[in-house]
Structure 1
Amino acid sequence: MPDPRFSILSEDFAAAPHRYFARLREQAPVHHEPALDSYFLSRHQDVRRVLTDHEAFSTEALQVRAEPVRRGPVLAQMTGAEHTAKRGIVVRAFTGRALQDQIRVIRTHAAGVVAPFLPRGRMDLVNDFGRPFAVRVTLDVLGLDTEAWQQVAHWLDGVTEFVTGLVLTPERRRHCLDCALQLEAHLVPVVEQRRRHPGEDLISTLCTAEFDGTALSTRDVTALIVNVLLAAVEPADKTIGLLFKHLIDHPEQLAQVREDPALLPAAIAETLRLTPPVQLVPRRAEKDAEFAGGVVPAGATVFCVIGAANRDPAAFTAPDTFDIHRQDLGTARSFTAAAQHLAFGTGLHQCVGAAFARAEIETVAALLLPLLDRVRYSPGFRYREVGLYTRGPASLELDFTPVHT
């Protein structure tokens, strides 16, 4: 880049990545980060190309980044018949009639988690609500004990840190691996019990499923469970917080959504476009790849900068503006593989939990909006986002009209 001191690993970038997105797209669309010996792509067309050309850009990078803590291959690493079969099992568990049953579970948990805060008229939407809710509802859908949600959340934090940490000290690496081992030890007895006595839950479905005429191993099932836990928990708690942040910052649009709940899916889609919870997606270049800004050599790790791609003026009008009425997003397709934004990825390895995420966030927002009347930031609250790989509010302290029940 023109300024050799620029680094994606810098504190300035970490504090506000969006301030650098235009600079990346315009001056260095193929940015090399020497400390990681990796390349970062930021233009919408380049990111889409990488995510859809599965032969030229493989998911082998996940073998080092994800497999050690997910305790086995993840869906994104799989190809061919294995990927089709295992993805199909998971997708069916989060669509159709199963999804309608899950919406009732979502409502129950959301109402239960928010209830103690309603009479107080004050709540941290991220730490008091978002995180506890997302973990508990995902455990319930999987058929796991929700009473252990805090311990599971702790282990998941370690797993997430390993997958998303661009630079880990040996001490943090050991901590993350220990969390993964403990989570696996927690899950294995459940998997073995469901093999003997299957029920209607997703774990039982995985235990009784077959691939190529052979039942999935306990390691296969455990890896898929961790895969689902991360895919369901990470986007949900961040997106709920970000949605309310954007609506509070744009009171006229908040009023419109309150008046017409049919606008809620558009508000969620626009939140995902402007502030995607997953900011980076890694791939490995299987051969030299030319882009307008340079060449990515064969064997190199490529990071797709989703946040920058989603703000590319070549793809969206006024891309740095939050607008639930924008015409170039296409709300109806924003939660499918045909989405214009790239918050769920795209192509063969689009996020397996997109449909569940939409139902979860819509259900929660529809429940909370009427309850959080005159919602506003608490006095003295200062907004801050954290994370490079995944990103969201550190907290969101809100005041609202108390609800007396």
Structure 2
Amino acid sequence: MTPLTAPPRANPRFSILSEEFAAAPERHFGWLREHAPVHHEPAVDAWFLSRHRDVHRVLTDHEAFTTATLQVRAEPVMRGPVLAQMTGAEHTAKRKIVVRAFTGTALREQVRTVRANAVELLGPLLAEGRMDLVNDFGKPFAVRVTLDLLGLDRQDWRPVSHWLAGVGEFITAIGLSEERRQDCLARAGELESYLVPVIEQRRRRPGDDLISALCTAEFDGIAMSTREITALVVNILVAAVEPADKTLGLLFKQLLDHPEQFAQVRRDPALLPAAIAETLRRTPPVQLIPRLAERDAEFDGTVVPAGATVFCMIGAANRDPAVFADPDAFDLHRADLGTARSFTAAAQHLAFGTGLHQCVGAAFARAEIETVAALLLAQLDQVRLSPGFEYRETGLYTRGPVALVLDFTPVHG
């Protein structure tokens, strides 16, 4: 039987790697779903899927589509295998250790840490009546909270941010020059050099932090090696820090763009989780999730060959009209999302992925953003974009605001 091949694209000059797409990906999602739902990019020899059903299939069929791509995309800077590369008993055991740190009693403790960090950072900014929510607040906040969770010194947030930027660039770049590659690897090495002495110290004198939990845990009766723990710690740092400041900035941009719904959230803070869920659906900070096709796979008459890299387009899938009514609209009251399930394995949107490797920190992400957003809403009145500020988002793999400069009136008392 003659194998199926990719049908000609409606616009052969269209490229996901173009500057036009990078400027505003959401303008192209509908065209992709309709005309090129299985889109091939020759420059990187990868396939991009934009329909919800196809993305869901790839993320839940763990035998046909594996995370083997991470061995090249992540392991060199993570300094070892990460959770998403693991399967079977090893994945179950190590995931359980990490999940414990993000749920139950531990999560309630973390909420206090989140609030304490937010209050400390916000204090000096209030008197100014203006701040860049992303760079003055969001980025240092996200790193400091994660350092507290791991039991690392929050005062080290600046160098850790520098090192993590290199790790993140290596993982998320579709194309990377040799110069940038070497810089990223060097930063990853510096982060490893920072972490290893701490890990060794926690082996000797464990505390109640997550690094200590990893040091005292066993798999098949054997303690994890320093390399394994380092990889998991870097994994947690990237997963917890990278999306947090983006989500906070995107949430406030959505609310500012929809003043009636912003006013509703102010009047009824119970609507805040719905606003966060809808922000994650409409503008997910993680836009692409890669997988490796282990065998030929057919999508809508097109065969993706075995061995091919497949990118799941989360942003496009989350706006699929086959799943969400009026999908391009921001609507915190939408009936087809469901706030309660939006931070669980039953989520209709795909911002946290789905299946075996769904984000372990979904519950923490909700608690973190909800806590800090509630604090900001209580402390900032008459919030508006600063005059002359031009909003811009960047990123193909992960995406968020470059900055979000706000003017506001501090709420005293």
Identify the TM-score tier after normalising by the shorter chain: over 0.9
Which amino acid in 2 is paired with 1:351?
Answer: C
> Any idea what the Cα deviations from partners look like across 1:271-304, whole Å, max 9, x if unmatched?
0000000000000001100011511100100000
* Residues 1:65 and 2:38 are matched in the alignment: no
Q: C-alpha distance in 2, partners of 1:28/1:251?
A: 35
Q: Is the contact made by 1:118 and 1:404 (CA closer than 8 Å) also made in structure 2? A: no
TM-score, normalised by the number of residues in structure 2 = 0.97
Q: C-alpha distance in 2, partners of 1:151/1:252?
A: 40
Q: Is the contact made by 2:378 and 2:411 (CA closer than 8 Å) also made in structure 1? A: no
Q: C-alpha distance in 2, partners of 1:294/1:272?
A: 30
Which amino acid in 2 is paired with 1:298?
Answer: A
Name the SS for the 1:113 alignment partner: helix
- For 2:5, the equivalent position in structure 1 comes to none
How many residues get paired? 405
- For 2:6, the equivalent position in structure 1 comes to none
- For 1:118, the equivalent position in structure 2 comes to 126
Name the SS for the 2:246 alignment partner: helix
5 Å-filtered alignment, 1:256-295, equals 256-295=264-303
Q: Where does the alignment leave 5 or more consecutive residues of structure 1 unmatched?
A: none
Q: Is the contact made by 1:29 and 1:293 (CA closer than 8 Å) also made in structure 2? A: no
Q: Is the contact made by 1:41 and 1:305 (CA closer than 8 Å) also made in structure 2? A: yes
Q: Pick from 159, 162, 165: which aligns with 1:154?
A: 162
Q: C-alpha distance in 1, partners of 2:173/2:93?
A: 30
Name the SS for the 1:223 alignment partner: helix
Q: Is the contact made by 1:24 and 1:31 (CA closer than 8 Å) also made in structure 2? A: yes
**CA drift at 1:32:** 0.4
- For 1:372, the equivalent position in structure 2 comes to 380
> Any idea what the Cα deviations from partners look like across 1:327-365, whole Å, max 9, x if unmatched?
000110000111000000000000111111111000001
- For 1:316, the equivalent position in structure 2 comes to 324
Name the SS for the 2:289 alignment partner: strand
Q: Is the contact made by 1:30 and 1:39 (CA closer than 8 Å) also made in structure 2? A: yes
Identity of aligned residues (%): 76
Q: Is the contact made by 1:119 and 1:404 (CA closer than 8 Å) also made in structure 2? A: no
5 Å-filtered alignment, 1:116-195, equals 116-195=124-203
Q: Pick from 219, 223, 227: which aligns with 2:231?
A: 223
**CA drift at 1:402:** 3.1
* Residues 1:108 and 2:106 are matched in the alignment: no
Q: Pick from 58, 64, 75: which aligns with 1:56?
A: 64
Q: Pick from 318, 333, 354: which aligns with 2:341?
A: 333
**CA drift at 1:404:** 5.1
**CA drift at 1:5:** 1.1
* Residues 1:200 and 2:208 are matched in the alignment: yes
> Any idea what the Cα deviations from partners look like across 1:9-46, whole Å, max 9, x if unmatched?
10000000001101111101100000110000000000
Q: C-alpha distance in 1, partners of 2:293/2:236?
A: 26
Q: Is the contact made by 1:345 and 1:351 (CA closer than 8 Å) also made in structure 2? A: yes
- For 1:87, the equivalent position in structure 2 comes to 95
- For 1:306, the equivalent position in structure 2 comes to 314
Q: C-alpha distance in 2, partners of 1:402/1:372?
A: 5
Q: Pick from 8, 27, 52: which aligns with 2:16?
A: 8
Q: C-alpha distance in 2, partners of 1:263/1:102?
A: 22
Q: C-alpha distance in 2, partners of 1:356/1:232?
A: 9
Q: C-alpha distance in 1, partners of 2:100/2:322?
A: 35
Q: Is the contact made by 1:30 and 1:293 (CA closer than 8 Å) also made in structure 2? A: no
Q: C-alpha distance in 1, partners of 2:183/2:253?
A: 32
Q: Is the contact made by 2:130 and 2:407 (CA closer than 8 Å) also made in structure 1? A: yes
**CA drift at 1:403:** 4.4
Name the SS for the 1:110 alignment partner: helix
Q: Is the contact made by 1:385 and 1:391 (CA closer than 8 Å) also made in structure 2? A: yes
Q: Where does the alignment leave 5 or more consecutive residues of structure 2 unmatched?
A: 1-8
Q: C-alpha distance in 1, partners of 2:270/2:348?
A: 20
Q: C-alpha distance in 1, partners of 2:365/2:334?
A: 21
* Residues 1:363 and 2:361 are matched in the alignment: no
Which amino acid in 2 is paired with 1:221?
Answer: I
Q: Pick from 62, 73, 76: which aligns with 2:84?
A: 76
Q: C-alpha distance in 2, partners of 1:390/1:252?
A: 28
Q: Is the contact made by 1:121 and 1:403 (CA closer than 8 Å) also made in structure 2? A: no
Q: C-alpha distance in 2, partners of 1:179/1:295?
A: 39
Which amino acid in 1 is paired with 2:160?
Answer: V
- For 2:3, the equivalent position in structure 1 comes to none
**CA drift at 1:154:** 0.3
Q: Pick from 400, 407, 412: which aligns with 1:392?
A: 400
Q: Pick from 355, 358, 374: which aligns with 1:350?
A: 358
**CA drift at 1:92:** 0.5
Q: Is the contact made by 2:379 and 2:412 (CA closer than 8 Å) also made in structure 1? A: no
- For 2:104, the equivalent position in structure 1 comes to 96
**CA drift at 1:120:** 1.0
**CA drift at 1:215:** 0.2
Aligned CA-pair RMSD: 0.7
TM-score, normalised by the number of residues in structure 1 = 0.99
Name the SS for the 2:312 alignment partner: strand
**CA drift at 1:2:** 1.8
